[in-house]
Structures are given as C-alpha cells and as structure tokens.
Amino acid sequence: MFPSSAMNTEGRRSPPDGGAPAFSCQKWESILIAVLPVLILAAGLTISYRSESARHVSETRRLRNDINVAIEPFCSELSRNVIAALHHSEGLAALVSLDGEPEPDRFRAFCGELLRCNSMIRNIALAPDNVVSQVYPLEGNERVIGLRYRDNPEQWPGVKRMMELKKMVVAGPVNLVQGGIGVIGRQPVYMRDPSEPGNERYWGLVSTVIDFNRLMAVSTGAGIPADIRVALRGADGLGAQGAVFWGDARLFERQPVLREIRLPTGSWQIAAAPAGGWPLFRPMSSPRFLAGAASSFACSALMLALLSLSCARRKAENELRKLNAELEERVATRTAELNRAMLKAQEADRLKSVFLATMSHELRTPLNTILGFTGVLLQGLAGPLNDEQRKQLAMARDSAKHLLALINDILDISRIEAGQIELSRETFDMRGVLESAMKSVAHEAQAKGIELSLRIGQGVGRVVGDRRRVEQVLLNLLSNAVKFTDRGSVTVECAAREGWIETAVRDTGIGIRAADMDKLFKPFKQIDSGANRRHEGTGLGLAISKNLAEMMGGSISVRSEWGKGSEFVFRFPQTAEGGENGADSDNRR
Amino acid sequence: MARILIIEDNEQNLYLASFILQKAGHSVVAARDGVSGIAAAESHQPDLILLDIHLPVLDGHAVAARLRSLPALAGIPIVAVTSYAMAGDRERIIASGCNGYIEKPIDPESFATTVVSFLPMSGRQQEGGEL
C-alpha cells in the first residue's frame, strides 16, 4: 500500500504548470487595454464634436432663416416704395417724349398731383439737355434751376450712366444740393420722330428725388426686430459693389444675411445680423457636448476598468492555478514525507514490538530459573534447610516474584500505550477465576489478620472473554485492597446484571483522599508514595486494569472515604466483544 | 515410575525440571535440541516427552509434528513447556500434535504432579494445562 501511494505522489508532481496559454492571452489583452479605451474615447469625442457642430450649423441656419423672415417686410416695403415713387417719373417722361417740355403750369399741376399721391417724393425736375429747367416744388429747390449736370462732378457719372443704359437709373443716396439726403431716380427722355418711328433723339431727363429719411421711415414702419442689426449698401443701385450708405458698414463683414432690394434699375443689398452677433461655436461650454465627452470618458474608463478587471481576474486565476499547483506539489511532497515518516514509525513500532516480545522472554527466563530453584530449595528437595536459610531464600523468592510482577506491569503498560494488546475470546467460568484470585491473596490477608470473603450472586457462571486479563484485573484490585488494609475486611461481591458481570471489591483500609482520585488511574502514581513508601508496587496496576476493563467494553469505578475504606467496581460484558484470537504473548502465575 | 524425555536448550531450566522430576522418582533423559530429541525418543521410548517450544534449529512445533509422524512413537504423550503463550500458539501447539502444555515459569511445588497427570496410566489427560 505505501510504496504504491508513494509512486502516486511522484506521478502527481509532473503537470503543475498549465499556465502558458493563459499568459499569452494576457499579452494580447494588455494591447487591447492600451488601444480600445483610446479608440472609444476618440470616437466618442468625435461624434460629440460632430453632432455639436452640426447642431450649431443648423441653429445658425435657423437663425439666419428667422432673420430672413424678420427682415422680409422691410425689404419688400423698401423696394416697393422706391419703385412706386420712381414709377411716377416714367409717366412724366412719357408725357415729355410725346409733347415736349410741358408748360410750367402744366408741369406744376402734374407734379402736384404726383406729390399729393406720394409723400416720399421730395421734388421732380426736368432737365432738357441735362440742364435743369423746371422743378416742383420750386420752393426750397430754387438753387437746382439751371444746374448743369455736365458741370457737376458729383452727379455727372450717374447721368452719364443713365445715358449709356438708356433707362432709369437710381442714384444715391446722395447729399442734395438743396440739402438733405435723397435718392434720385433719373429717367432719360427720348423724343420720337413721328416721320421716322425707329429714330429717337435724347431729349434730357426727368429727375425724381426721394427723401431718403422719409423713405426709410415709411419702409421701416413694418418694423425691424430690435435684436437684428441691418445695413444697406449698393449706392447708385450697384448692389454688392456699391458703397454702404445706411447702418454699420462692418455688419457686412460679419457673415450677415444678405438680400437684394430690387430697384427699377439695379439693386441695393441689405445685410442683417443678430444684434449680439452670431452664436459662437463653443463646444466646451455646450452641456450637450460636455455630456457627450463625459460619457465618452466614462465609456472609455468603463472599458478600461472592465478590461483591467478581466485581466486582473485572469491574472488572479493564473496566480491561483500556480498556487494550486504549488500547493498540490507541497501536498504531494508532504504526503510522501508523511508516508516515509509513517513507514519509519511503523518500522519503529515493529521494532518496539519485537523488543517487547524479546524482553518479555529474555527477562523472564532467568527469573523463572531463580523462582524455580528458590522454590525447589524451599521445598527441601535439595536437602533440609535451617530457619535462617529458609528465611533468606524466602526473601530472595519474594524479591524475584516482585521483580517479575514489575517487569510484567512495565511490559503491559508499554503494550497498552503502543496499542498492542489484543484480547482473546474464550469461554470460562467466572467463579473459578474469582476463587483463584481469592486464593492468590489469601496468604497475605491471613498474615495481616484481614477477613477475606467472597459472595457470588445468581447467574454468575460461564462468560466469554479473556480469562487471563479478567483475572489480572481482579487480582490487581484484590491485592491492592489487601495491601492498603491493615485491619478489618476485604469483601468481594460478584453479580450478573443485565448482561454485565459486576465485581465489587470493598475494603476497610486507608481509603483515598478526594484530591488523589484523579491521579488514581494514571500510570506510575502510587498515591501513598512520596513521603512514606510503605507499599511496594509499580503504581501501574490500576492504570493497566482500567485500560484492560475499557478494552473489554467495561469499566472500573471507585468510591472511597479517606480513613474508612474503598470500593472498586469492575464491570465487563458477560459476552465480551473482541478478537477471536488474542495476541497476548504474556503469561504469568 | 516413569521415564521422561526433556527436550530443552536452556541448561538451567533443563536442570530444574530434571531435578524436580528425579526427586519425584522419575527417570529423566535429556536432549538439548530438536534433532537429538527425536533421536532420543526413538532410542529410549520414554513414557512422556516434555518439549520446549523455543528451540534452536528445529522448533517445538516441528519436533512435535515429526514425532507424531513416527508410528512407533505415536502413543507417547507430548507436553509442551512454553512461555510463549500467545493465544494462537496454544492452538498451534495442540495442532502440531502435543497432548497439552505447561506454562513457564514452572511452579516447583506442583510441577511434578502436573507432569504425572499427562501419563496414560493416570487416565486424566488434560488440555490447556493449568497450574
């Protein structure tokens, strides 16, 4: 059994490290740990940024749209007002081209009608050959009469352009000669030759001055929201190319909403932008972007944590596996050591058994001889003895007997402690054993003058057990009783009770102190020893007896009163358990 | 009286047993090992053989078995004398052909009478001898 289990432990040592594939997996994982969270973070931030940017763009677009819608009434009103105001000059031009320059009265009547219809028109002038001849109203505009456009460097380019384009041209706003700011519409007039319908001759121009301030006042009547700034450019109807003439010129540099304001010829351009400027793209102050970025960080951190955890777990598992392997190896080593130790212990045990058997034989053989010859001599078989010789021989024999008893006790206790006593199982007569034990102590009791009595109850007869050991226990109890009793009696009472044989040994001796009770059954304790060793013995008897009784499945109990006596009760099963063949190598008496 | 063969290797024990038996009036033949014991039994035809079990070369069991295999000696009682009283040994002693046994140490006072009790003429053969 042991050699094979030792081989098993050797076999178990080989496969402890199965951790190689797990380790490479860890390397792969560490790359993942480094890359994946960064990727997640980058993707999260990009998405957040893009969505924030898209949101900003769409917000800006919506705002532009709003502004567009908001300025729409103003734009259309402005355009409509200019067109409507200048439309009248076309009528006048048509009149002139048919009839030539009207009479002043007729001009006044016509223009009076026009101005009554349109409050924005400041004046209307006629300029045949580009020299102002008539103006309405004349009042306040006297200085205009006689103005030669050709000689007016401020106004000549506009006139020249009109002549080139051959249609109405809007000029200004300009500072007027007569004061104020005006928008001038110049309508060229061509005289038709009735004889030659395709031939036209430039007559001059009709100039209509719209009061700019009034125009603006009327046009803004529709209202421009206070949070929108506007500016106009395109002086002389040049649209985007024209100069800024109303509002803050810088507005055009602020990505404003641009719209064309259609004029009879050309256009103006309006710029509109929020009063507080366009919303800035500031992702770092956008809660949405910050939330996105934060969740990206969180995801990244979570991933990092998860990966680290799984990595740590794997690491821990590896560690555990390694520890397990180590532990197993240690267990295997320890098991092997234990097996060796056990084999050693068993060998030691075996040697001890052999030693005990040898001792029991070797020690007793010479003692047997001594006992034999002293016995023969005391019997007088070798010749008659005188009293002194008899006395000395008897002393030698008693000492030898005592020595034999000591040796037997020591061997017994050694066997008990080594667990080497096995009880035999035989059928014997309990009465015979009791009587034999009584006989053994009868002599000593008689010598001490102690009354010895035996009472055997009903049912005490044949029992199954180890006769020799039962007798040993009884004899021990009896000889103790006689030994520790100086006067009075020793009574043995044996009874059969419910499958048990109970033998009580009572004496009227010195008794046992309560304090000594627990030492009573311990080996090598003779209670009375120490101060005054009156009684010979090893002190092993009770320890041996108690052990034997317990091995039989029985017990020894004691009751005692110091100075009055003791009662030991030995009980064992009537049909003892135990081995079929005891291994009792001992013999005695 | 009786002629008794004692097969015993221990000189003191042999002397003790011989002395007691001779004092009791028996004649004693001694052998100090198993082989010479068997030879002595054949040549002396004793009335009883006292056989020590713990013998050198050929032990008591073997001697008893050998003696029992010889028809000429079949009727002679063999009494084992042993301190080897292991429970199993007793059965082995009887099984190997002994009529009984006496345990050591021998009691000088009762030894002679116990031996005599195994003689055929006494009619009181006893197994598991007791002192």
| Residues A294 and A400 grouped into a single domain | yes
| Residues A346 and A462 grouped into a single domain | no
User: What pLDDT score was predicted for residue A186?
Assistant: 87
| CATH code: domain of residue A558 | 3.30.565.10
| CATH code: domain of residue A163 | 3.30.450.350
Mean model confidence pLDDT for chain A: 81
**CB distance B105–A368 less than 8 Å?**
yes
Residue with tokens 């063969």: B5
| Residues A249 and A348 grouped into a single domain | no
The tens digit of pLDDT for each residue in A79-117 reads 888 888 888 778 888 888 887 888 888 888 888 888 887
The tens digit of pLDDT for each residue in A314-333 reads 888 888 999 899 989 989 99
| Residues A189 and A85 grouped into a single domain | yes
Give a yes or no: residue A149 inside a domain. yes
The tens digit of pLDDT for each residue in B47-84 reads 999 999 888 888 888 999 999 998 888 889 999 988 75
d(CA A297, CA A340): 62
Give a yes or no: residue A317 inside a domain. yes
Amino acid, single-letter form, for residue A322? K
- Asked if A83 has any chain B CB less than 8 Å from its own CB, the reply is no
- Chain B: residue whose CA lies nearest to A357: B84
| Residues A411 and A435 grouped into a single domain | no
Rounded to a whole number of angstroms, the distance from the CA of B92 to the nearest CA of chain A is 12
Q: Which of A253, A274, A295 is the last residue of a domain?
A: A274
d(CA B84, CA A308): 77
Mean pLDDT of successive 10-residue stretches along chain B, which has 131 residues: 92 92 94 92 94 86 90 90 66 86 85 90 45 38
User: What pLDDT score was predicted for residue A583?
Assistant: 38
- Asked if B51 has any chain A CB less than 8 Å from its own CB, the reply is no
- Chain B: residue whose CA lies nearest to A379: B109
| Residues A201 and A339 grouped into a single domain | no
Q: Which of A386, A417, A448 is the last residue of a domain?
A: A417
Give a yes or no: residue A98 inside a domain. yes
Residue with tokens 């009248």: A88
| Residues A395 and A306 grouped into a single domain | yes
Give a yes or no: residue A381 inside a domain. yes
- Asked if B105 has any chain A CB less than 8 Å from its own CB, the reply is yes
Domain residue limits at A114: 62-274
**A vs B: CB pairs below 8 A:** 69
What is each CA distance from A95 to A114, A123, A191, in whole angstroms?
Answer: 14, 17, 10
**CB distance B86–A585 less than 8 Å?**
yes
**CB distance A381–B23 less than 8 Å?**
yes
Give a yes or no: residue A123 inside a domain. yes
Give a yes or no: residue A393 inside a domain. yes
Model-level pTM greater than 0.90?
no
Interface test with A, best of B22, B53, B104 (most A CBs within 10 A): B104
Q: In the structure, what pLDDT confidence band is assigned to residue A374 with cuts at 50, 70 and 90?
A: very high
Tokens linked to B22: 């001779």
- Asked if B44 has any chain A CB less than 8 Å from its own CB, the reply is no
Which chain B residues in 66-85 lie under 8 Å from chain A, judged by CB atoms? 83-85
Over range A380-407, report the average pLDDT. Answer: 89
Rounded to a whole number of angstroms, the distance from the CA of A445 to the nearest CA of chain B is 21
Give a yes or no: residue A54 inside a domain. no
d(CA B59, CA B127): 21
Q: What count of residues does chain A have?
A: 589
| Residues A398 and A499 grouped into a single domain | no
Number of folded domains that form chain A: 3
| Residues A362 and A390 grouped into a single domain | yes
Give a yes or no: residue A16 inside a domain. no
| Residues A464 and A577 grouped into a single domain | yes
| Residues A367 and A247 grouped into a single domain | no
| Residues A293 and A396 grouped into a single domain | yes
User: What pLDDT score was predicted for residue A526?
Assistant: 54
| Cα four-point dihedral sign A332, A333, A338, A340 | positive
Whether pLDDT at A580 is above 60 = no
Over range A169-175, report the average pLDDT. Answer: 81
d(CA A200, CA A452): 182
- Chain B: residue whose CA lies nearest to A375: B108
Sheet strand arrangement including A489-497: A451-456, A489-497, A500-507, A565-573, A555-561
Closest by CA position to B8, among listed A220, A451, B20, A588: B20
User: What pLDDT score was predicted for residue B27?
Assistant: 95
**CB distance A365–B83 less than 8 Å?**
yes
User: What pLDDT score was predicted for residue A573?
Assistant: 93
Name the phi and psi angles at A488, rounded to 5: 105, -135
d(CA A526, CA B4): 47
Q: Which of A387, A417, A447 is the last residue of a domain?
A: A417
